[in-house]
């Protein structure tokens, strides 16, 4: 288990896992046996909207019951992410955290503990270099930073409304 500095959070990660993205875009849409939900934090949706000059409702829809996520990416008629163009992500540099993490996901175990898990459906699992602790530390740091930013953005918006 890895402790994450002063905030008292810790995470576990899979040992001996290899991964290299196969660039197959499996993660970017529905499969025959799986419906995918690309969930977005408020701050991610706002950032994508600003960078793409698109209104939020053009690429996302509000959702409830998936906190801290408040939006879900819209899909094309064939179940692919609206930003998937010619089998490539057109917002790759600003893609949501959930997309950056795939085929990994971070599960909340409670008591400030988290665990990285992965899906075997991804053809990149088992390929490439063995991932070390520092790989997961970087991911965990991105998660913590983005969650802090998201909370600050929500608080700022709430204060403006009440203001």
0.75 cut: is pTM over it? yes
The kind and range of the H/E element at 127 are: strand 125-130
63-68: which pairs have CB atoms within 8 A and are 24 or more residues apart? 63/39, 66/39, 68/41, 68/147, 68/150, 68/151
Q: Could you give the CA distance from residue 42 to residue 19 in angstroms, rounded to a whole number?
A: 29
Using only C-alpha atoms, the chain has a radius of gyration, in whole angstroms, of 17
Could you read off the pLDDT of 100-149 as tens digits, one per residue? Answer: 999 999 999 999 999 999 999 999 999 999 999 999 999 999 999 999 99
Q: Is the pLDDT of residue 158 over 90?
A: no
Tell me what the mean pLDDT of segment 36-55 comes to.
Answer: 96
The residues spanned by each domain of the chain are: 2-162
User: Average model confidence (pLDDT) for the chain?
Assistant: 92
Task: Please name the residue ranges forming H helices in the chain.
Answer: 42-52, 56-59, 97-101, 133-162
């Amino acid at each position: 288990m890895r402790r994450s500095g002063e905030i008292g959070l810790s995470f576990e990660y899979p040992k001996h896992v290899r991964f290299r993205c196969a660039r197959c875009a499996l993660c970017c849409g529905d499969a025959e046996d799986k419906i995918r939900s690309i969930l977005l934090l408020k701050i991610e949706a706002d950032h994508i909207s600003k960078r793409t000059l698109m209104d939020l409702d053009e690429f996302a829809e509000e959702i409830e019951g998936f906190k801290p996520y408040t939006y879900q990416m819209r899909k094309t008629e064939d179940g692919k992410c609206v930003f998937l163009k010619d089998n490539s992500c057109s917002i790759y540099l600003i893609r949501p955290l959930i997309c950056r993490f795939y085929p990994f996901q971070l599960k909340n175990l409670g008591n400030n503990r988290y665990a990285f898990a992965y899906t075997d459906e991804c053809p990149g699992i088992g390929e490439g270099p063995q991932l070390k602790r520092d790989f997961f530390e970087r991911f965990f740091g991105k998660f913590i930073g983005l969650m802090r930013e998201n909370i600050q953005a929500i608080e700022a918006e709430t204060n403006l409304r009440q203001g």
